[in-house]
């Protein structure tokens, strides 16, 4: 992969549309996208590596639907983990499943502070850039904190950088810390931007010492599930490609992730 051509961050105010209008546009699209993605099958390839001792957790699973249309996961590759310095917690697994491909919907706006910080070019895309953080941590709920890039044409998130919060530090020295990550999206079916690649390379500061961690998550083979559920885009139903659940194709070049 080639290095992303990322332009300088321009803090100048945007023109022709207010910040509130931009937020309303992209969170509405994110709500639509969340419903749409729930009607796609795909493959997720997850690697978690501790470079200091070459420990590795690797899992490949397919997100599918059964004959009754119920969503399920089918693990296709999962060798014994060789991680010794850390272990994969339920929160780690849940983050990989649900929070690395971060979605910010209209329903979640009240939970977050959203700050416009400028405009930036991401390869061929001109983006509005926002910093977001939870207003407060409620119970055991987990949140995203970081930066998002919103395409100024489709008003959809095309890139995220940040981490899930809060880190968990319990009594008796139990610690569950989480790395910063970047997720890139690509456009599928000419409509929605789907997560396709996540990368983390961070050092976690445990009380017993620092541990470097690398994560690579790949999402591939997106296919529309042949159900009767309607998916809408800007108020219009998204038509299924000829042949039902044929593999969808990328329509617009995405922001390119860095070399692996």
Residue 189 CA to chain centroid, in angstroms?
18
Q: Determine contact, residues 184/158, Cβ cutoff 8 Å.
A: yes
Tell me the three state secondary structure of residue 33.
helix
pLDDT value of position 104: 95
Supply the pLDDT for residue 15: 87
pLDDT value at residue 2 = 43
Considering only the C-alpha atoms of the chain, give the largest distance between any 2 of them, rounded to a whole number of Å. 58
Give me the residues paired with residue 64 across strands. 72
> How many Cβ atoms are within 10 Å of 23's Cβ, its own excluded?
21
**Pairing verdict, β 192-206 and 209-224:** antiparallel
Low-confidence ranges of the chain (pLDDT < 50): 1-3, 241-253, 259-260
pLDDT value of residue 172: 72
Taking Cα atoms as reference points, which of 217, 183, 222, 182 lies closest to residue 96?
217
The domain locations on the chain are: 19-237
Q: Are strands 40-50 and 55-65 parallel, antiparallel or unpaired?
A: antiparallel
pTM: 0.86
Whole-angstrom distance, CA of residue 37 vs CA of residue 192: 9
pLDDT given for residue 247 in this prediction: 47
Domain 19-237 annotated CATH 2.50.20? yes
**Per-residue pLDDT at 230:** 54
Is 33 buried (19+), middle (13-18) or exposed (0-12) by CB count in 10 A? buried
Which DSSP helix (H) or strand (E) runs through 43?
Answer: strand 40-50
Number of residues that this document lists for the chain: 260
Alpha carbon separation from 127 to 67, 73, 109, 114 (Å, rounded): 41, 34, 20, 15
Compute and round to an integer the Cα radius of gyration of the chain: 19
Given a contact cutoff of 8 angstroms between Cβ atoms, the answer to whether 149 and 132 are in contact is no
Residue whose entry in the numeric block shows the structure tokens 């969808």: 248
Give the whole-angstrom CA distance, residue 224 versus residue 241: 8
């Amino acid at each position: 992969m080639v290095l992303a051509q990322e332009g300088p961050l321009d803090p100048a105010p945007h023109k022709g549309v207010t910040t509130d209008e931009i937020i309303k546009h992209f969170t509405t699209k994110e709500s639509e996208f969340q419903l749409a993605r729930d009607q796609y099958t795909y493959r997720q390839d997850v690697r978690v590596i501790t470079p200091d001792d070459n420990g590795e957790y690797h899992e490949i699973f397919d997100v599918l639907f059964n004959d009754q249309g119920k969503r399920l996961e089918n693990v296709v590759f999962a060798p014994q983990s060789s991680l010794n310095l850390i272990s994969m917690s339920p929160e780690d697994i849940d983050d990989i499943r649900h929070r690395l491909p971060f979605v910010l919907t209209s329903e979640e706006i009240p939970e977050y502070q959203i700050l416009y910080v400028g405009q930036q070019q991401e390869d061929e895309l001109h983006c509005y850039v926002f910093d977001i953080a939870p207003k407060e941590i409620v119970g055991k709920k987990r949140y995203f904190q970081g930066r998002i890039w919103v395409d100024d044409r489709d008003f959809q998130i095309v890139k995220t950088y940040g981490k899930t919060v809060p880190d968990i530090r319990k009594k008796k020295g139990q610690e569950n810390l989480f790395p910063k990550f970047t997720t890139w999206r690509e456009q599928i079916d000419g409509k929605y931007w789907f997560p396709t690649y996540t990368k983390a390379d961070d050092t976690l500061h445990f009380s017993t010492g620092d541990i470097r961690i690398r994560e690579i998550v790949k999402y591939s083979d997106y296919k529309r599930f042949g159900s009767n559920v309607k998916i809408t885009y800007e108020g219009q139903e998204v038509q299924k490609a000829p042949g039902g659940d044929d593999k969808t194709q990328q329509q617009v070049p995405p922001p390119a992730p860095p070399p692996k």
